[in-house]
Structure 1
């Protein structure tokens, strides 16, 4: 049941743990985006450089201003009219674990639109890291059963929701948005 799985994942997040969970894009490895030690665990699980930044999920666009110094007005239109999951890289990140933020002070934020992930983030009341469920340098798994067993064993909780789903999803579109409102695509 959805509520039960959200409750279990919430307990893990609140205790600084790492979850493997379904999102509006591919399966993600996640943690509390304000907890530096939890973010370190994800780097260790994926075998990725601590210099790489992360994408964080929020449940609605009004939360973005809590984590960005100055949100350009156009961001809200881009989010509202996006036809596919859209991650926006904003300058001036704040109130996040420093190892979530890029060295240039930016961070990628996505307003998640997915039953499980959106309710999880809403109830957690903090942003959640979302990074693809693969070892660094390996292909991104399309389905749950393609996720490396090493990852499944390393996380603190594997969400039992949509594991059988075989709908091919792709990673989000990534757009960099400057404080002046100019934008460029990083990944389409």
Structure 2
């Protein structure tokens, strides 16, 4: 069984997988399972009022779990896959716990082959929060991944710059990270 198959098996059983992305190490769990999501909050010691982003493998999966209009689609086609998390209205199929009660969901399409393979084979979104305790240093190396997990996928040293978080409803940057200047210029042109 290869590492991708092992990751899918762990996810199918509500387990936690640490996986590499194009930015940092992520903590992945089944984004449709309340039990798995609660494990993510516990592993990170994260407050339940704080939302958790998810990762999808393509624009079709993104559209299946969120409501996006044509302006949002244009942004998504320009910047994803990549080091960007878009905040968009969530569909009701997603557990409310992920949105922190906001009705909005942060979604990434990571530009990292291993992450995309896991999500594609799992055939559903996974959580995309960083693999560290809340408030701790962003995990750029395997040693910095301090959360409990059932499986670790080693991607070596990662770039380490967090994704830029963009609220596509308000058309504003929530957190500056990778590609922030290009994103700002695009938002101004809309």
Aligned residue in 2 for 1:98: 96
1:1-188 correspondence to structure 2 within 5 Å: 4-68=2-66, 70-82=67-79, 84-148=82-146, 151=147, 154-159=148-153, 161-162=154-155, 165-178=156-169, 182-188=170-176
Contact conserved, 1:53 with 1:99, CA < 8 A, in 2? yes
Give the TM-score taking structure 1 as reference length.
0.86
Give the TM-score taking structure 2 as reference length.
0.85
Where 1:89 maps in the other structure, the secondary structure is: strand
Q: CA deviation at 1:110?
A: 1.1
Q: CA deviation at 1:63?
A: 1.6
- 5+ long unaligned stretches in structure 1: none
Contact conserved, 2:86 with 2:108, CA < 8 A, in 1? yes
Q: Distance in 2 between matches of 1:32 and 1:21?
A: 13
Where 1:100 maps in the other structure, the secondary structure is: helix
Aligned length: 175
CA 81–136 in structure 1, closer or farther in 2 if over 3 Å, else same: same
Deviations 1:116-147 (A, max 9, x none): 01111111111000111111121212211222
Q: CA deviation at 1:176?
A: 0.4
4+ long deviations beyond 6 Å: none
Q: Distance in 1 between matches of 2:90 and 2:17?
A: 27
Where 1:39 maps in the other structure, the secondary structure is: helix
Where 1:99 maps in the other structure, the secondary structure is: helix
Q: CA deviation at 1:16?
A: 0.8
Aligned CA-pair RMSD: 1.7
Q: Distance in 2 between matches of 1:35 and 1:64?
A: 17
Contact conserved, 2:24 with 2:158, CA < 8 A, in 1? no
- 5+ long unaligned stretches in structure 2: 177-190
Q: Distance in 2 between matches of 1:23 and 1:168?
A: 9
